[in-house]
Amino acid sequence: MNYQLNHLRELEAESIYVLREVAAQFEKPVLMFSGGKDSILMVHLAMKAFHPARIPFTLLHVDTGHNFEETIKYRDNLVARIGAKLIVGSVQDAIDNGTVREEKGFNASRNGLQTAVLLDELEKGKFDAAMGGARRDEEKARAKERFFSHRDEFGQWDPKNQRPELWNIFNGKKQYGEHFRIFPISNWTELDVWQYLAIEEVELPSLYFAHKRKVFKRDGTLLADTPIIQKRANEEVVEMMVRCRTIGDITCTGVWESDADNLEKIIQEVSTTRMTERGGRTDDKRSETSMEDRKKKGYF
């Protein structure tokens, strides 16, 4: 008898374990849902962890108001299908009532504004744990992240003073007003995610598959042509076969030239590509430590 799990089943078992710890250790956890493949994976794993009961978490989507249309449609379908509760935190509302100020100019993005809205929603909902689909292979600051990551009463991360995390013991103890960020899929790589979504036959937003779209090039990145992004005079719009490798705010999510229109081709592409998936994220490119800087302030 062979008692060895393959790597995907072992990662699955680990993530399910973490999700169950969250349900057991926290009073009011929330699952941060962006509509991207990583949060879709998290929802799928949560369904597995608590079957046949419903997912014992609310979903929270911080909507920049600059999302791809397909993302919102997918989100609403998913929520209806699994019978979950969804809260939408609106960046537009925060701008309208003056909580945050919108950036101006060519590279304006609402990415950074999400932090204020997220922290606000966590406080309003009295959530004591927020689960995110961040992975350690994505970005160098995320490589240092714990599964259970402590946040102080201002929602800040202190990377130099993290709790040691040993074996499979997760310390979720905190003072009143503090919360935790929890990353159940920390150990998955981009390829693991795709392989797993393929064998599990999970339905995915159409944006991930190659499709025709009007795009233009800026600083080496292809961006979708949309009225939301102000174009320079010399930026020429062309139609191309593209797909998203990550899905975020439309203003900072680059698309990739690709003809991968099904999962097999995507896996093929991901396993041979020589560029990181966040390579198209202009929000990461603002400085060498932009992810760490944002995370310290409470960004997801």
Does residue 177 interact with other proteins by CB under 8 A? no
Does residue 58 interact with other proteins by CB under 8 A? no
Residue 199-218 contact track with other proteins, rule CB under 8 A, x = bound: x-------------------
In 40-189, DSSP assigns E strands to 58-63, 86-90, 129-131, 148-151, 179-182
Partner residues linked to 179 by β-bridges = 151
Residue 155-174 contact track with other proteins, rule CB under 8 A, x = bound: ----xx-xxxxxxxx-x-xx
The size of the interface with other proteins (CB under 8 A), counted in residues, is: 70
Indicate which single residue of 76, 124, 143, 237 sits in contact with other proteins (rule: CB under 8 A): 143
- Residue 135's identity, in one-letter code, is R
Does residue 176 interact with other proteins by CB under 8 A? no
Cα end-to-end distance, the chain, whole Å: 43
- Give the residue from 203, 167, 198, 196 showing the smallest Cα distance to 74: 203
Does residue 300 interact with other proteins by CB under 8 A? no
Burial class (CB in 10 A: 0-12, 13-18, 19+), 160: exposed
Q: Which two tokens mark 105?
A: 């100019």
- Give the residue from 145, 220, 233 showing the smallest Cα distance to 181: 145
Does residue 233 interact with other proteins by CB under 8 A? no
Does residue 21 interact with other proteins by CB under 8 A? yes
Tell me which residues touch other proteins (CB under 8 A): 2-14, 16-17, 20-21, 23-24, 47-54, 136-137, 139-144, 159-160, 162-169, 171, 173-175, 186-187, 189, 191-192, 195, 198-199, 262-264, 267, 273-276, 279, 288-289, 292-293
